[in-house]
Amino acid sequence: MYLKTTFHVAQPNLRSMLEEKIETEKLLWNGPYISLEKNYVPGSLIDDVVQSGWISKEVGDMFKSYGITQLYSHQDEAIKRILDLKNTIVATGTGSGKTEAFLIPIVEYCYRNKDKKGTKALIIYSMNALVNVQHERLKRLLNGTGITFAIYTSRTPETIDQRPPDALEEERCTREEIQKDPPDILVTNYSMLEYLLVRKEDQKIFKEKRLKFLVLDKIHTYRGAKGSEVACLIRRLKEHTGKLGDDRLVCIGTSATIKSQYDEDNSKIRKFAEDLFGEPFDSDCAIKEDYIPPKEPEKPYIPPPPRLKKKRKTLYL
């Protein structure tokens, strides 16, 4: 997906050859790698989250229809913090549901304020392949909800006459639609965000000053020169959207590897997040996962050792 998205080949013959090589020649991978993951500590049922008043029944039903009926304990913690509008770093492992940890409170906020026009959440990924994955997720999740969304990358079509016939009512598929009627949730990459803050037509996206959430995926990649560039970009975004006074952005970062920097008071992660976002993070900002202690089975199954069969003699005529 990364190669097909980043290195788009316009000529059909070359594109088909590239896709054939990727699929048949084993250039990118060579068989599966299996790793046994420990089980995460379970958290609340979605129905319990609704009963507690954290989220509305309508939003609970959205995620249940998507197949999410129970959360992990670290998702509980992250959702509660973000609903309380606290800056948060979700530093849990791959497959731990980091996306749902920030998407549930963001969708809840957008549902409560969907009568107010303007972009309320900006989600930034480091590459278009990840953006495209979230596109499919949002299409399934927000179909028929009235919460609007858009994907804005270099490949987003220009004019409304290029809108796909199967696009959802909640979907803003072209740049013209995004500029004229900004979506509740906008997903993009940091390179495109640079253009959104420079180009006159794109600056209209944030004219309503509704932006509330800023999400950065894989924050561990924003180091060195790249990190400095993105940090300056975030400060320009806050200035452009009027988020420099009491009405601050809720900043959210996700990473599966930054947990290696855990210390007793999370001071390293806090310092990194504060430098990147330019916002204060408290000592409880970093959410980490908890595992269920593994137990040895009472009656473990041990298969019999393999036995070699006698090789049949081959007759050569």
Asked if 92 contacts 287 with a C-beta cutoff of 8 angstroms, the reply is: yes
Same domain, 136 and 220: yes
Question: Closest by alpha carbon to 141, among 78, 64, 72, 216?
Answer: 64
Any bridge partners for residue 189, and if so which? 125
Burial 25-54 (b: 16+ CB within 10 A, else e): eeeeeeeeeeeeeeebeebbebeebbeeeb
In a domain, 72, yes or no: no
pLDDT, average across residues 281-296:
90
State the Cα torsion 135-137-139-145 to the nearest 10°.
-130
Q: Is residue 4 part of a domain?
A: yes
Residues 6+ apart with CB under 8 A from 247: none
Distances (CA, A) of 267 to 78, 223, 262: 18, 17, 8
- 212 within domain boundaries: yes
Same domain, 22 and 106: no
Query: Which domain, by its residues, includes 164?
Result: 85-287
How would residue 260 be classed by pLDDT, with cut points 50, 70 and 90? low
* Number of structural domains in the chain: 2
Q: 112 and 2, same structural domain?
A: no
**Could you report the per-residue pLDDT of 110-136, keeping only the tens digit for each?**
999 989 999 999 999 988 888 888 998
pLDDT band per the 50, 70, 90 thresholds, residue 203: very high
Residue 3 has pLDDT above 70, yes or no: no
282 and 146 within one domain: yes
Mean pLDDT for the chain? 90
Torsion sign, CA atoms 140, 52, 259, 237: positive
Residues 162 and 224 in one domain: yes
- Tokens linked to 69: 């009926």
User: Is residue 122 domain-shared with residue 17, that is, in the same domain?
Assistant: no
Question: Is residue 58 helix, strand or coil?
Answer: helix
Residue 25 lies in a domain: yes
The C-alpha atoms of residue 149 and residue 178 are separated, in whole angstroms, by 9
15 in the same domain as 92:
no
Q: Is residue 168 within 8 Å of 177, Cβ to Cβ? A: no
Q: Do 123 and 249 fall into the same domain? A: yes
Q: Any idea what the CATH number is for the domain that residue 271 is in?
A: 3.40.50.300
CA distance 87 to 72: 20
Is residue 30 located within the same domain as residue 151?
no
**Is pLDDT at 233 greater than 80 in this prediction?**
yes
**Nearest in space to 172 (alpha carbons), one of 192, 149, 195, 193:** 149
Nearest in space to 214 (alpha carbons), one of 255, 252, 254: 252
Q: Which helix (H) or strand (E) holds 214?
A: strand 213-216
pLDDT of res. 294 = 82
Q: What is the pTM of this model?
A: 0.82
Section 263-268 average pLDDT: 78
Range 109-112, long-range pairs (CB < 8 A, 24+ positions): 109/83, 109/212, 109/213, 110/147, 110/184, 110/185, 111/56, 111/58, 111/59, 111/145, 111/147, 112/56
In this prediction, what percent of the chain has a pLDDT beyond 70?
Answer: 91
Same domain, 171 and 268: yes
pLDDT band at 183 (very low <50, low <70, confident <90, very high): very high
In-domain check, residue 307: no
Assess if residue 220 is contained within a domain. yes
The answer to whether residue 90 sits within a structural domain is yes
Asked if residue 90 and residue 26 are part of one domain, the reply reads no
Residue tagged 């309503």 (tokens) = 208
Beta strands at 149-152 and 185-189: parallel, antiparallel or unpaired: parallel
pLDDT of residue 98: 95
pLDDT at 278: 95
Beta carbons within 10 angstroms of residue 188's beta carbon: 22
pLDDT at 152 over 70: yes
Q: Centre a 10 Å sphere on the Cβ of residue 87 and count the other Cβ atoms it contains.
A: 22
Q: Is 297 among the domain residues?
A: no
Q: Is 116 exposed, middle or buried (0-12, 13-18, 19+ CB in 10 A)?
A: exposed
Q: Are residues 159 and 255 in the same domain?
A: yes
